[in-house]
Amino acid sequence: MKIKELESEITLLKRRLEHLEKSNGHVSDEEARIMINRFISRKRLEGASRLNILDIMAELNLPPEQINKVMRFMEKRGIVKEVG
């Protein structure tokens, strides 16, 4: 990872931690989208061509309903394929 990417990741994690402390674990759909997008990008760099929503749940600790909502949004935008 490049330094800018690491700095961006640290900033995102700091914001998420602050938000988690305030909201008892709930993150907005926008924050979830960013987290999922980063997760997908990282997995693609690692060579994964297919991802399972269960992997996202385990890694990011987001509720399945929120993951599904975000993934459908990303599917409509052409970022991911075959949500379901």
Domain definitions of the chain by residue range: 3-76
In this predicted structure, what is the pLDDT of residue 58? 86
The pTM of the full predicted model, rounded to 2 decimals, is 0.66
6-32 pLDDT tens trace: 888 888 888 877 766 665 567 889 999
26-53 pLDDT tens trace: 788 999 999 999 999 999 899 988 888 8
End-to-end CA distance of the chain: 31
Say if residue 70's pLDDT is above 70: yes
Say if residue 1's pLDDT is above 80: no
Q: Round to whole Å and give the CA distance between 33 and 74.
A: 8
**CA angle, corner 43, sides to 34 and 63, nearest 5?**
50
